[in-house]
Chain A
Amino acid sequence: MSEQITNILLVGVGGQGILLASEILSETFMLAGFDVKKSEIHGMSQRGGSVVSHVRYGKEVFSPIVPEGEGDILFGFELMETSRYLSLLKPEGAVIVNDLRIPPPSVLMGQVAYPDGLADQIRNRFPDFLLVDGQKLATEAGNPRAANTVLLGAVSKRLDVAEEFWIKALEKMVPAKALEINRKAFIMGRAL
């Protein structure tokens, strides 16, 4: 399949801000002069269900969805959802995940436990693994709600797109009053 396409998957729980993060990624790639497509499923997933967003960029992108096993980067907003979608990645793919556990209904109800040791399991299978304490770093940047932007900074470091385009996209997509904190959070993530 297309070799010059970079495939990024954003996974997590409905309501975590996955759509906004994927918009910022797409905007950045367009500003940097690439063709870009992104795709996700709305609807039922908004009610706290599992969410996957696909973002692809390169010279010319056809399919808006990433073929299974072709993902370059898995950008995880939550640990269990990251584990769920590992098969979308290439064997040499990178995993960048927020160190966050959101219990699904069966765990909330005490029927099963939230799986243990997920981070280690992911690391064993994908050595290019980065676990980020997004909330902690975002709090340092000025607001724990900027955790996604810290992660975005970490993802940006692995992509061959100049910093100016990322900042421009943030300026366009993030509300003015939250921009400074998000810029700071992004730079912190990029330094990881």
Chain B
Amino acid sequence: MKEILSGNEAIARGAYEAGCRVACAYPGTPSTEILENVVNYNEINSSWAPNEKVALEVAIGASFGGGRALCTMKHVGVNVAADPLFTLSYTGVNAGLVLVVADDPEMHSSQNEQDSRNYAKFAKVPMLEPSNSQECKAFTRLAFELSEQYDTPVLLRSTTRISHSKSIVQLEEPVTGLPEPRLIRNASKLVMLPGNARVRHPLVEERISKLSKDGATMAINRLEMRDSAIGIITSGVCYQYVREVLPTASILKLGMVHPLPHDLIREFAAKVKALYVVEELDPFIEEQIKAMGISVIGKQIMSICGELTPERIQKAFASIGVATAPAVAQPEESPAKLPPRPPNMCPGCPHRGVFYTLNQLKAYVTGDIGCYTLGFMPPLSAMDTCVCMGASVGMATGVTKVVSSEEQKKVVGVIGDSTFLHTGINGLMDMVYNQSPATLIILDNSITAMTGRQDNPASGYTLMDDPSHRIDLPLLCKAVGVKHIRVINPFDLEETRRILQEEMNRPEPSVIITDKPCVLIKREGVFEKGIVLEVSEDTCTGCRACLKIGCPAIEWRPEGEGSKKGKAYIDPFLCTGCDVCSQLCKFNAIRRSK
């Protein structure tokens, strides 16, 4: 049977067909939909972990217990999971373990564009890289087999264009006859104390050499001989772009990007007149080929920054006379003239009033990763730093260590519920332990919103939709030692401002928790639309105060074309009745509709 699947859906299908027993992840674009699809296969125990490190540790345990295990994350998630990954490389597995890492070249939805292939080399584990959805499925199945065959975790690398592109996939039946999981004791292999680890390390080196040698005959590393004037070594989505742009070129398509099959590369290099590498981000393959003493062109004509596209590859080869230049589009109407359309917080978003208030109080806001990072955008413009998951808390502490006691009062960390439980909690321990005077706001909207509403340990449900314990955030903060914990209604601007001001002035650690849910939560009884607001045209003076919160439901309507005068209008379909705007109106012109 054929189906059109995204790369992520196909990876989920591949795990199912491979007889995977356990799948665990922390959501992150572009990897999130893998687990959201795995959960549809009842044979697999699927769960969201509080962070990527825990997710990998759960998968490791499942593998040690003899069940095939899948773990998925975005590229930066591997930074969090790197600690178990590097030692897992030494222990190896009992049942197959596959770690999917989804890179985001061009940073469509990420804070950096690190190249995860470096992790494969660094941790000395094999990495496969599919080039379409069919390969996503097939390579996932193969990755489980290789994992057991070579006693190693296997990385599967995707990129945004693979994860979020759809193509046709041939479905197959799941494998049968895998051994039943059971407790397997093998301490010299699984207890990584120095004495045991010293024994394991040489095995890791042997394994990677053997994989490199065996790579020459693996079907996923494929020579496609056409015109021998141009030879291109490539992998992933770049393979598809090269086929599109240079249809006559000979290609060495790598399905395994680490370790490289040196023998096959030498064979290919000898067959072609000029050798090129087309790879996104780092010169990962190129540098290794150069180290083999083979001359090759790569980053000299293609950027390390951003993703590659068919045009960018064509331009690169045109620049050295190997391809014709792409037809230059002549935009008559420059798109630059059009107003931009950046993403925005939703109407009724509980974060909006908090950022408006932070802006009013001129707070120095150390930010974090989530929807609320949009608080950086005008007109809210209330975020000063954002580095990685959980960093808001540590950064707030750090800033207060160096600035004057007057400036310390301005320092506020802002973090979501899911991000707080991911890695923010450790920062809070430090904030209390080392007595930082900073204030932390936990924007608890009861969901991991930015990645598309995933449950987390504070939402009360699991990935498999079972009701579960909901972490009591105020109690957790109390247990950590925070003495001043305030739970506020973020739609009440007066209360929000008063409490924020009080806690900012306090020369001790304090936590403010907002407790209104994300408007996108569909689960019954969580978010309910209130009474829609409307602007009284007679009373509205056109002062524009309500526009300062940047709500997509509020529109400025000029009196006539080019007129500076006008009135506000509220779209009744978009308005959720959160009532923040009416608190900004000094003329009582915004009221609940009848």
CB-CB < 8 A to B547: which residues of A? 108-110
B555 engages A108 (CB within 8 Å): yes
The answer to the question of B331 belonging to the interface, with a C-beta cut-off of 8 Å to chain A, is yes
A63 engages B310 (CB within 8 Å): yes
The answer to the question of A64 belonging to the interface, with a C-beta cut-off of 8 Å to chain B, is yes
Which of B164, B247, B340, B561 contacts A39 (CB under 8 A)? B164
How far, in angstroms, from A43 to B31 measured CA to CA in the complex?
11
Listed stretches A81-89, A134-142, A151-159, A178-186; interface member: A81-89
Interface residues of B in 306-334 (CB under 8 A from A): 309-311, 314, 326-329, 331-333
How far, in angstroms, from A41 to B165 measured CA to CA in the complex?
9
How far, in angstroms, from A94 to B424 measured CA to CA in the complex?
51
Main secondary structure of the interface of B (DSSP, over half): loop
A47 engages B29 (CB within 8 Å): no
Interface residues of B in 375-430 (CB under 8 A from A): 377, 379
The answer to the question of B552 belonging to the interface, with a C-beta cut-off of 8 Å to chain A, is yes
A64 engages B161 (CB within 8 Å): yes
A105 engages B344 (CB within 8 Å): yes
The answer to the question of A80 belonging to the interface, with a C-beta cut-off of 8 Å to chain B, is yes
CB-CB < 8 A to A109: which residues of B? 379, 544, 547, 550, 556
How far, in angstroms, from A48 to B333 measured CA to CA in the complex?
23
The answer to the question of B167 belonging to the interface, with a C-beta cut-off of 8 Å to chain A, is yes
State whether A107 and B241 are in contact (beta carbons under 8 Å apart), knowing that A44-B109, A65-B161 are contacts in the complex. no
Which of B237, B310, B450, B550 contacts A1 (CB under 8 A)? B310
CB-CB < 8 A to B2: which residues of A? 30
The answer to the question of B484 belonging to the interface, with a C-beta cut-off of 8 Å to chain A, is no
How far, in angstroms, from A125 to B132 measured CA to CA in the complex?
35
Closest-CB distance, B116 to chain A (whole angstroms):
18
How far, in angstroms, from A88 to B310 measured CA to CA in the complex?
13
The answer to the question of B452 belonging to the interface, with a C-beta cut-off of 8 Å to chain A, is yes
How far, in angstroms, from A111 to B337 measured CA to CA in the complex?
14
Per-residue A-contact encoding for B345-358, CB less than 8 Å = 1, 0 else: 11000000000000
A121 engages B166 (CB within 8 Å): no
Residue of B nearest to A40 (CB): B164
How far, in angstroms, from A85 to B379 measured CA to CA in the complex?
26
B29 engages A67 (CB within 8 Å): no
The answer to the question of B442 belonging to the interface, with a C-beta cut-off of 8 Å to chain A, is no
B342 engages A105 (CB within 8 Å): yes
A2 engages B566 (CB within 8 Å): no
CB-CB < 8 A to B326: which residues of A? 67-69
Closest-CB distance, B524 to chain A (whole angstroms):
19
How far, in angstroms, from A105 to B553 measured CA to CA in the complex?
10
The answer to the question of B371 belonging to the interface, with a C-beta cut-off of 8 Å to chain A, is yes
Per-residue B-contact encoding for A2-35, CB less than 8 Å = 1, 0 else: 1000000000011000000001001100100001
Interface residues of B in 523-566 (CB under 8 A from A): 544, 547, 550, 552, 554-556, 558, 561-562, 566
State whether A37 and B333 are in contact (beta carbons under 8 Å apart), knowing that A62-B244, A69-B326 are contacts in the complex. no
The answer to the question of B30 belonging to the interface, with a C-beta cut-off of 8 Å to chain A, is yes
State whether A87 and B374 are in contact (beta carbons under 8 Å apart), knowing that A45-B343, A46-B452, A47-B346 are contacts in the complex. no
A38 engages B166 (CB within 8 Å): yes
How far, in angstroms, from A110 to B544 measured CA to CA in the complex?
9
CB-CB < 8 A to A48: which residues of B? 341, 343-344, 346, 552
How far, in angstroms, from A30 to B314 measured CA to CA in the complex?
29
The answer to the question of B243 belonging to the interface, with a C-beta cut-off of 8 Å to chain A, is yes
Number of B residues contacting the other chain (C-beta, 8 Å)? 61
The answer to the question of A36 belonging to the interface, with a C-beta cut-off of 8 Å to chain B, is yes
A62 engages B161 (CB within 8 Å): no
Residue of B nearest to A49 (CB): B343
Residue of A nearest to B344 (CB): A48
How far, in angstroms, from A69 to B340 measured CA to CA in the complex?
21
Closest-CB distance, A7 to chain B (whole angstroms):
11
The answer to the question of A175 belonging to the interface, with a C-beta cut-off of 8 Å to chain B, is no
Per-residue B-contact encoding for A64-75, CB less than 8 Å = 1, 0 else: 110111000000
How far, in angstroms, from A140 to B445 measured CA to CA in the complex?
39
State whether A42 and B29 are in contact (beta carbons under 8 Å apart), knowing that A30-B2, A105-B342, A108-B552 are contacts in the complex. yes
CB-CB < 8 A to A83: which residues of B? 333, 335, 338
Closest-CB distance, A177 to chain B (whole angstroms):
17
State whether A1 and B345 are in contact (beta carbons under 8 Å apart), knowing that A87-B331, A108-B552 are contacts in the complex. no
The answer to the question of B295 belonging to the interface, with a C-beta cut-off of 8 Å to chain A, is no
Question: Which residue of B338, B344, B555 has the most chain A CB atoms within 10 A of its CB atom?
Answer: B338
B241 engages A62 (CB within 8 Å): yes
A38 engages B343 (CB within 8 Å): no
Which of A42, A63, A104, A115 contacts B244 (CB under 8 A)? A63
Closest-CB distance, A1 to chain B (whole angstroms):
6
Which of B166, B245, B343 contacts A37 (CB under 8 A)? B166
How far, in angstroms, from A69 to B327 measured CA to CA in the complex?
7
State whether A30 and B168 are in contact (beta carbons under 8 Å apart), knowing that A49-B343, A104-B341 are contacts in the complex. yes
CB-CB < 8 A to B555: which residues of A? 103, 107-108
CB-CB < 8 A to A107: which residues of B? 339, 555-556
CB-CB < 8 A to A87: which residues of B? 329, 331, 335
The answer to the question of A176 belonging to the interface, with a C-beta cut-off of 8 Å to chain B, is no
CB-CB < 8 A to B544: which residues of A? 109-110
How far, in angstroms, from A62 to B309 measured CA to CA in the complex?
12
B244 engages A2 (CB within 8 Å): yes
Per-residue A-contact encoding for B234-246, CB less than 8 Å = 1, 0 else: 0001001101110
A106 engages B4 (CB within 8 Å): no
B333 engages A63 (CB within 8 Å): no
How far, in angstroms, from A85 to B346 measured CA to CA in the complex?
25
CB-CB < 8 A to B29: which residues of A? 42-43
Closest-CB distance, B253 to chain A (whole angstroms):
12
A65 engages B310 (CB within 8 Å): yes
Which of A47, A62, A88, A114 contacts B344 (CB under 8 A)? A47
The answer to the question of A113 belonging to the interface, with a C-beta cut-off of 8 Å to chain B, is yes
State whether A47 and B338 are in contact (beta carbons under 8 Å apart), knowing that A41-B108, A64-B161, A65-B309 are contacts in the complex. no
The answer to the question of B514 belonging to the interface, with a C-beta cut-off of 8 Å to chain A, is no
B331 engages A67 (CB within 8 Å): no
The answer to the question of B510 belonging to the interface, with a C-beta cut-off of 8 Å to chain A, is no
Residue of A nearest to B32 (CB): A42
Residue of A nearest to B167 (CB): A37
The answer to the question of B160 belonging to the interface, with a C-beta cut-off of 8 Å to chain A, is yes
CB-CB < 8 A to B340: which residues of A? 50, 104, 106
State whether A68 and B166 are in contact (beta carbons under 8 Å apart), knowing that A109-B550, A110-B544 are contacts in the complex. no
B168 engages A67 (CB within 8 Å): no
How far, in angstroms, from A155 to B517 measured CA to CA in the complex?
39
B4 engages A27 (CB within 8 Å): yes
For the A-B complex with A47-B346, A49-B341, A81-B341 known, give 5 more contacts whose Cβ atoms are closer than 8 Å: A1-B310, A36-B168, A80-B341, A108-B556, A110-B547
> Which 4 A-B residue pairings sit nearest by Cβ, starting from the closest?
A43-B109, A110-B556, A47-B343, A64-B165
- Name B residues whose Cβ lies closer than 8 Å to a Cβ of A: 2, 4, 29-30, 108-109, 132, 160-161, 164-168, 237, 240-241, 243-245, 247, 309-311, 314, 326-329, 331-333, 335, 337-346, 371, 374, 377, 379, 450-452, 544, 547, 550, 552, 554-556, 558, 561-562, 566
Sample 7 A-B pairs with CB under 8 A, ordered by A number.
Answer: A30-B4, A36-B166, A47-B343, A63-B241, A67-B326, A108-B547, A113-B561
